[in-house]
């Protein structure tokens, strides 16, 4: 019934509407470049629907992505000064509305949860109400729409442009970094198509000594972490290192318990995710969202935990797998 693609169209429409506001914002010295960038993102979100189901050629979309990269990469984007509410007014409004302000913010996860758990099981006729497999992201979308209505009621705001303006302010504050996670995922696709994984697998086989189980455990876990740091994603590292080290050496040769080896191995990769700017959605986007001067602040806070947990994973495999 409700398709995931509809939600992507809504996101695309939001981008396009914000791009429209950006183009008219004279306080932004590069307003047309900024509007072109986000407008292109919005249009690409919609066009992707047909690329995803293979009814439209992917090449124009690829070209559009490269145009986005050039717009942001060569400094054609900027930010305007969306008039922020003054501090006194925000404080006064906080005092007046009190904890009611949390209601819309918490509506998003609450509705998302209901969709993922309850609505997931609903059917109309024999078709599921929410497209199977997309319940969580649809939940997020529905939750946000409901929360927007609740928020407008709570703060008694009637102009639909007001939340859009406020959201655009946040988007401009964060800038093109917002799109980095998606582009990194795209890069992962290209890495895969060009056989980067196989090359790394061959390299690991070359350097690894034979018959030393605990060395292999260390290589497997550390390799997962390091490869994840480079690729930004444990999912990309897992097939490579499991094929090169985990399965042949730890499971077949040393008879390790597969569940322990593979679960802890994947989590060793997550230790790498905590340390890398390549995992932009977890590490760089929060830094810009929190308006940190040091882009690497969250990574620095996470590195000691990541190193300790990597050691934990090595110990867990060594102790429980054999």
Partner 1 sequence: MLALLGVLVVVVGFATKRNPLLVVGVAGIVTGLFGGLSPRAVLADFGTGFAASRSVTIFVITLPVIGLLERYGLREQARALVTRFAALTTGRFLALYLILRQLTAAVGLVSLGGPAQAVRPMVAPMAEGAAERRYGALPERTRERIRSFAASADNVGLFFGEDCFLAVGSILLITGFVNTTYKTHLEPLDLALWAIPTAACACLIHGARLLRLDRTLERELAAAEGALPRADVEEAAT
Tell me which residues in 123-142 interact with partner 1 (CB under 8 A).
Answer: 136-137, 139-141
318 binds partner 1 (CB under 8 A): no
Choose the binding region for partner 1 from 28-36, 124-132, 206-214, 293-301 (rule: CB under 8 A): 293-301
- Choice between 129 and 152, CB closer to partner 1: 152
How many other C-beta atoms are found inside a 10 Å radius of the C-beta of residue 24? 10
- Choice between 125 and 273, CB closer to partner 1: 273
- The one among 29, 162, 205, 253 contacting partner 1 by CB under 8 A: 162
126-150 burial, b at 16+ Cβ within 10 Å, e below that, comes to eebebbeebbebbbbbbbbebbbeb
* Contact set for partner 1, span 12-51 (CB under 8 A): 14-15, 41, 44-45, 48-49, 51
| Torsion sign (Cα): 288, 291, 296, 297 | negative
- The one among 2, 32, 129, 163 contacting partner 1 by CB under 8 A: 163
277 binds partner 1 (CB under 8 A): yes
- Choice between 125 and 297, CB closer to partner 1: 297
How many other C-beta atoms are found inside a 10 Å radius of the C-beta of residue 269? 27
The distance in angstroms from the start CA to the end CA of the chain is 49
DSSP string, 205-234: HHHPPSS-HHHHHHHHHHHHHHHHHHHS-H
Run of H or E residues at 123: strand 123-124
How many other C-beta atoms are found inside a 10 Å radius of the C-beta of residue 293? 6
Find the shortest distance in angstroms from Cβ 67 to partner 1: 10
Size of the site for partner 1 (CB under 8 A): 143
- The one among 63, 118, 153, 215 contacting partner 1 by CB under 8 A: 63
Alpha helices in 78-212 (DSSP H): 87-97, 102-117, 135-155, 161-174, 180-193, 196-207
Locus of tokens 């791009």: 19
- The one among 43, 119, 129, 164 contacting partner 1 by CB under 8 A: 164
Residue 144 to residue 148: CA distance in whole angstroms: 6
* Contact set for partner 1, span 182-241 (CB under 8 A): 182-191, 193-196, 199-200, 202, 230-231, 234-235, 238-239
62 binds partner 1 (CB under 8 A): yes
- The one among 35, 151, 217, 245 contacting partner 1 by CB under 8 A: 151
Find the shortest distance in angstroms from Cβ 50 to partner 1: 9
How many other C-beta atoms are found inside a 10 Å radius of the C-beta of residue 225? 28
* Contact set for partner 1, span 67-96 (CB under 8 A): 68-70, 72-74, 84-85, 87, 90-95
Find the shortest distance in angstroms from Cβ 23 to partner 1: 18
- Choice between 45 and 220, CB closer to partner 1: 45
Reading the block at residue 270, the tokens are 């997550």
How many other C-beta atoms are found inside a 10 Å radius of the C-beta of residue 162? 12
- Choice between 50 and 125, CB closer to partner 1: 50
One character per residue 103-122, x = contact with partner 1 (rule: CB under 8 A)? -xx--xx--xx--x------
Residue 192 to residue 196: CA distance in whole angstroms: 6
């Amino acid at each position: 019934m409700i398709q995931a693609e509809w939600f992507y169209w809504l996101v695309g429409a939001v981008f396009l509407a914000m791009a429209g506001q950006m183009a008219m914002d004279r306080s932004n010295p590069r307003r047309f470049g900024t509007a072109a960038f986000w407008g292109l993102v919005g249009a690409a979100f919609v066009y992707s629907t047909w690329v995803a189901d293979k009814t439209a050629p992917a090449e124009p979309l690829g070209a559009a992505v490269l145009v986005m990269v050039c717009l942001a990469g060569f400094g054609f984007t900027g930010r305007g000064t969306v008039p922020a509410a003054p501090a006194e007014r925000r404080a006064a409004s906080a005092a007046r509305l009190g904890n009611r302000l949390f209601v819309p913010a918490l509506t998003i996860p609450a509705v998302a949860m209901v969709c993922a758990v309850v609505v997931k099981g609903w059917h109309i006729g024999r078709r599921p109400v929410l497209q199977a497999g997309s319940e969580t992201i649809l939940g997020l979308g529905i939750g946000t729409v409901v929360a927007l209505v609740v928020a407008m009621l709570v703060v008694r705001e009637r102009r639909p442009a007001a939340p859009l303006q406020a959201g655009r302010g946040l988007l401009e504050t964060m800038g093109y970094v917002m799109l980095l996670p998606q582009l990194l995922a795209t890069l992962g696709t290209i890495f895969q198509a060009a056989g980067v994984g196989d090359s790394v697998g061959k390299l690991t086989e070359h350097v690894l000594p034979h018959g030393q189980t605990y060395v292999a455990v260390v290589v497997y876990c550390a390799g997962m972490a390091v490869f994840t740091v480079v690729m930004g994603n444990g999912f990309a590292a897992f097939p490579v290192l499991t094929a090169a080290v985990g399965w042949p050496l730890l499971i077949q040769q040393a008879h390790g318990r597969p569940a322990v080896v593979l679960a802890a191995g994947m989590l060793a990769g997550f230790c790498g995710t905590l340390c890398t700017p390549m995992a932009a959605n977890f590490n760089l986007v929060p830094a810009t969202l929190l308006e940190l001067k040091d882009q690497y602040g969250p990574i620095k806070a996470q590195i000691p935990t990541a190193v300790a947990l990597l050691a934990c994973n090595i110990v867990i495999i060594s102790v429980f797998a054999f």
